[in-house]
Amino acid sequence: MGEFDFLIVGAGLYGAAFARLATDDGYKCLVIDRRPHIAGNVYTEDVHGINVHKYGAHIFHTGNKEVWDFANRFAEFNRYTNTVIANYKGELYSLPFNMYTFNKMWGVVTPAEAKAKLDEQTASCRTDDPKNLEEQALSLIGPDIYNKLVKGYTEKQWGRSATELPAFIINRLPVRLTYDNNYFDDRYQGIPIGGYTKWIASMLEGIEVRLGIDYLKEKESLGNIATKTIYTGMIDEYYNYTLGKLEYRSLRFETEYLPDTDDFQGNAVVNYTDSGTPFTRILEHKHFEFGTGKGTVITHEYPAEWKVGDEPYYPLNNDKNNGLYQKYRELAKADGNVEFGGRLGNYKYYDMDDTIAACKEDYKRITGK
């Protein structure tokens, strides 16, 4: 028996939510993180009074009322609604594809006109057996939208040509025949007022947190500190890559404070969809919170290849990696005192609401409560 019931490795959303649930039930938890801050990838940093999304734009959205209620225990959420603009060589389009997009692209005004145009565009490209992402996208939305709004962005994101990418990456491309610009369909959406770091700090209130500690380097001393370990880092790294390395896509962020610009782009997120622009997006952080103060902070987001040591952002869930992940799960099954959770432990892309939902489910399974 250790000093704690749970050692939780990772002070990100999963670790913080698990620690909260366990602490509320009377368990004693210790949370550690190797970064110098809490909140993992949802971390926001105060730069001249603006909450900067340090690891990429984060918008909380969910259709799950239980998850929404849990999230709202720790902060009030603002009314931010994600409306994304696509910039193709200076032409601006609305995302996701909706009547504003079709009006700009083809001059159509009514849903019936847009539907007729979409049918005309896809008529010659329709296929039930797309050989690659390009064929799949053309079959779904036709050449005009594909060439201006999908091709360049997707190729930059994945670092390879759309004809070399598997079709399954784009299962569907949502098309709305309304003038609804809301990027998400979920019922609940917003950003925690005061930023995500404050939200996670509130989730962790009263729980011991130690930062700047890498579990894998301190395994000896931490080994017996708790009855059970909840590990939210990379599962292959935990096992020292014994079975091989799981692969990811990474991102590089270039952030700058512009003291003399109060509004750089009039929107939180602008996607650059042409192949000539090397970055995929520009974020202007003050717009996530309707900021009106002096100066602004912008971030250029560049997709990047990943190698061990880089920040692993998106798992590459192809057959090879999924198979390897299953082998690590088998190893984990035999390891009685550790449970893997979160986006890295499960080698799965989780939105924040998925992370909370998965955490609640795991917590029930592990504690029976």
Ligand X SMILES: Cc1cc2nc3c(=O)[nH]c(=O)nc-3n(C[C@H](O)[C@H](O)[C@H](O)COP(=O)(O)OP(=O)(O)OC[C@H]3O[C@@H](n4cnc5c(N)ncnc54)[C@H](O)[C@@H]3O)c2cc1C
Residue type for position 84: V
Q: Which of 17, 55, 11, 16 is nearest to 35 (CA)?
A: 11
Q: How far is the CB of 151 from ligand X (least distance, A)?
A: 21
- The answer to whether residue 10 forms part of the interface with ligand X (CB under 6 A) is yes
Query: What's the distance, CA 66 to chain centroid?
Result: 20
Choice from 47, 108, 216, 316 touching ligand X (CB under 6 A): 216
Looking at the Cβ atoms of 310 and 351, the one nearer to ligand X is: 351
Contact set for ligand X, span 345-364 (CB under 6 A)? 350-353, 355
Looking at the Cβ atoms of 42 and 85, the one nearer to ligand X is: 42
Choice from 5, 7, 8, 15 touching ligand X (CB under 6 A): 15
Query: What's the distance, CA 1 to chain centroid?
Result: 37
User: Residues 141, 97: contact at Cβ < 8 Å?
Assistant: yes
Looking at the Cβ atoms of 106 and 313, the one nearer to ligand X is: 313
Residue type for position 266: G
- The answer to whether residue 291 forms part of the interface with ligand X (CB under 6 A) is no
Contact set for ligand X, span 234-253 (CB under 6 A)? 251
Q: How far is the CB of 80 from ligand X (least distance, A)?
A: 11
What residues are paired with 237 via a beta bridge?
none
Contact flags string 35-64 toward ligand X, x per CB under 6 A: x----xxx-------------xxxxx----
Looking at the Cβ atoms of 271 and 355, the one nearer to ligand X is: 355
Give the DSSP H or E segment for 45: strand 44-47
Q: How far is the CB of 349 from ligand X (least distance, A)?
A: 7
Looking at the Cβ atoms of 130 and 342, the one nearer to ligand X is: 342
DSSP 175-236: B-SSS---S---SEEE-BTT-HHHHHHHHTTTSEEEES--TTTSHHHHTTSEEEEEE-S-HH
Let me know if 317 is exposed, middle or buried by CB neighbors in 10 A (0-12, 13-18, 19+): middle
What span, in angstroms and rounded, lies between the C-alpha atoms of 287 and 79?
Answer: 12
Looking at the Cβ atoms of 42 and 114, the one nearer to ligand X is: 42
Helices (H), 4-132: 13-24, 65-72, 99-106, 111-123
Q: How far is the CB of 259 from ligand X (least distance, A)?
A: 26
What span, in angstroms and rounded, lies between the C-alpha atoms of 215 and 287?
Answer: 37
Residue 11 DSSP SS3? coil
- The answer to whether residue 315 forms part of the interface with ligand X (CB under 6 A) is no
> Which of these ranges, 69-77, 188-196, 288-296, 341-349, lies near ligand X under the rule CB under 6 A?
341-349
Largest CA distance in the chain: 70
Choice from 4, 5, 8, 13 touching ligand X (CB under 6 A): 13
Q: How far is the CB of 90 from ligand X (least distance, A)?
A: 26
Total number of residues that touch ligand X (CB under 6 A): 34
What span, in angstroms and rounded, lies between the C-alpha atoms of 146 and 50?
Answer: 35
User: Residues 84, 174: contact at Cβ < 8 Å?
Assistant: no
- The answer to whether residue 215 forms part of the interface with ligand X (CB under 6 A) is yes
Q: How far is the CB of 234 from ligand X (least distance, A)?
A: 6
Residue with tokens 């006109």: 113
Choice from 2, 28, 34, 338 touching ligand X (CB under 6 A): 34
Looking at the Cβ atoms of 71 and 114, the one nearer to ligand X is: 71
Q: How far is the CB of 185 from ligand X (least distance, A)?
A: 13
Binding residues for ligand X, rule: CB under 6 A, are 9-15, 32-35, 40-42, 56-60, 214-216, 232-233, 251, 313, 342-344, 350-353, 355
